[in-house]
Amino acid sequence: MYTFSKFANRFIMRVDKTLENKGKYSHDGYEYIIKNVYLNEFLNINKGEKFMRTEEIIKQTERHDTDIYKPLPIVISEAEGVWVKDPEGNKYMDMLSAYSAVNQGHRHPKIIQALKDQADKVTLTSRSFHVDCLGDWFEKLSEISGKNRVLPMNTGAEAVESAIKAARRWAYEVKGVPDNQAEVIAMKNNFHGRTMIPMSMSSEPEYRRGFGPLGDGFQIVNYGDPEALEDAINDNTAAVILEPIQGEAGVNIPPAGYLKQVREICDRNNVLFISDEIQAGLGRAGKMFATDWDEVVPDMYILGKALGGGVFPVSVVLGDDEVLGVLNEGSHGSTFGGNPLAARVSEAALNVLIDEKLADRSLELGEYLLGELKKITHESIVDIRGKGLFIGLELNKSARVFCEQLKDEGVLCKETHGTVVRFAPPLVVTKEELDWALEKVKKVFNKGTF
């Protein structure tokens, strides 16, 4: 039995049972032709719901969306592990991981279960009251970082702002910098977010254009240049903030030993070292923290993205009493920061990283993927670089075009900095899946259309 209704000038067919036959179906003088796909794949017929195709969903979204992103022309409606599906049922391999927020894979069952279990108990209280799950999470964070203080927030940009606030207050109350004179040194081509403090220390013109007046008290020096850093430090310098690997800048990796030099410079000058590990940390670069590559411990870690397991937004600043202890009641806060859902989800996300040894997996498979990519020869390739499963393929032409063609082959990546393709699959990826993706990359290069 078929039921037809009109919706938005389209006739929607509803049926009582799954139809596995293609063909023609007539009703009230209208003939409906179903071809190329099974009817039950074309319509959500068993659910009695209107089915929207990819093109329709994109048009609907763009009618209302603020135009701050330029996504690839694909709609993701399902995801599991390293694979995603569009509404038509086409499968794609995710090689972006939501900018490294999905290190544990899409919908990891242990993380999803933690979300469900906590949602059945309590979801939000604000920090006006204690909750029974915050202490467990804090202890886990302290255990992996060696830091004894946790400042929970929600997004990466919030955590960056929080770390800068703490560094400035430390400069005034501990170091003795005159009021309102504290300075922070950041790196050229950095990305720490798009709110006011991160914008104020950005060197990217488009991040800053039209948003002034921006904040004072920031200096920018070249990334990977310890001499430039030392020259920029003065008596009022509160902190140095950097990404141990610059993600948005094109997966820029500093020279070996650079982070150790930064640590030594900060120590000599009584300056805090802040490591923004939001994208490169938590296993992405083949270590729990990317600063581990130089065996360096910063004064503050900033974590986000994969801290929520791709399920819930959560971020933290990690530090010791001397630094985060300068904050007191009323000096900082967040209604949602440290909420019960975030705590339980993040604790589960960290347990997955540790129990499944995903940092080690990233290191091993990242070395393999990097090596295989370097075997590809093509006139458009400028450089291939990376640590762990955090790899940048730099081209001498538009990386956007490459990503669009790769999407057509079933692999999802996103360009960064114009000419760099970022390969960052979920850390649960297998060697066989990487081999499949490598064949698609080679196919795009060999097409002759790129």
User: How does pLDDT run across 233-288, given as a tens digit for each residue?
Assistant: 999 999 999 999 999 999 999 999 999 999 999 999 999 999 999 999 999 999 99
Judging by beta carbons within 10 Å of its beta carbon (0-12, 13-18, 19+), is residue 116 exposed, middle or buried?
Answer: exposed
> Both 176 and 283 in a single domain?
yes
pTM (2 d.p.): 0.89
pLDDT given at position 431: 99
Q: How many domains does the chain have?
A: 3
Q: Given a cut of 50, is residue 17 above it in pLDDT?
A: no
Is position 414 annotated as part of the catalytic site?
no
Q: What CA dihedral angle connects 14, 16, 18 and 21, to 10 degrees?
A: -70
**294: pLDDT strictly greater than 70:** yes
CA distances (Å), 302 to each of 104, 132, 262, in order?
Answer: 19, 24, 17
Whether 225 is catalytic: no
Domain end: 309, 337, 355, which one? 355
Percentage above 70 pLDDT, the chain = 88
441: closest CA among 106, 93, 98, 101? 93
Closest C-alpha among 37, 93, 97 to residue 409: 93
Active-site pick, 94, 276, 287, 445: 276
3-state DSSP assignment of residue 297:
coil
Q: Residues 45, 71: one domain?
A: no
Q: Do both 230 and 155 map to the same domain?
A: yes
Q: Are residues 261 and 135 in the same domain?
A: yes
User: CATH number, domain at 90?
Assistant: 3.90.1150.10
Long-range contacts of 215-218 (CB under 8 A, 24+ apart): 217/168, 217/181, 217/182, 217/183, 217/184, 218/183, 218/184, 218/185, 218/186
- Given the residues 140, 147, 287, 305, select the one marked as catalytic: 305
| Residues 316 and 196 grouped into a single domain | yes
pLDDT digits (tens, 9 = 90+) for 364-388: 999 999 999 999 999 999 999 999 9
> How many other β-carbons are positioned within 10 Å of the β-carbon of residue 302?
29
Average pLDDT over residues 88-107: 98
Q: Which of 19, 34, 51 is the last residue of a domain?
A: 51
Q: Is the pLDDT of residue 206 over 60?
A: yes
Select which of 138, 191, 289, 423 is catalytic: 191
Give the pLDDT confidence score for residue 51 in this predicted structure. Answer: 62
Structural contact between residues 76 and 86, judged by C-beta atoms closer than 8 angstroms: yes
Q: What is the pLDDT of residue 448?
A: 72
Same domain, 416 and 287: no
Q: Is the pLDDT score of 15 beyond 50?
A: no
Q: How many helices (H) and strands (E) does the chain have?
A: 15, 19
pLDDT of residue 148: 97
Q: Can you tell me the mean pLDDT for 299-317?
A: 99
Q: What is the mean pLDDT of residues 161-186?
A: 99
Residues 113 and 102 grouped into a single domain: no
17 labelled catalytic: no
- Cα 140 to Cα 234: distance, rounded to the nearest angstrom: 37
Q: Are residues 204 and 307 in the same domain?
A: yes
Give CA–CA dist 339/298, Å, rounded: 26
What does the pLDDT look like over 435-449, one tens digit per residue? 999 999 999 999 877
**Average pLDDT of the chain, as a whole number:** 91
Clarify whether residues 297 and 405 are in a common domain: no
- What pLDDT, on the 0 to 100 scale, is given for residue 52? 80
Look at 13 and 331; give whichever has higher pLDDT: 331
The pLDDT tens digits for 18-72 are 444 444 444 444 444 433 433 444 444 334 445 689 999 999 999 999 999 999 9
pLDDT at res. 24: 45
Token pair listed for 124: 């939000």
The parent domain of residue 293 ranges over: 109-355
d(CA 138, CA 132): 11
Q: What is the pLDDT of residues 212-233, one digit of tens each?
A: 999 999 999 999 999 999 999 9
Instruction: Report residue 108's pLDDT band, with 50, 70 and 90 as the boundaries.
Output: very high
d(CA 300, CA 183): 17
Look at residues 355, 375, 403 and tell me which one is the last residue of a structural domain.
355
- The yes-or-no verdict on residue 83 having pLDDT over 90 is yes
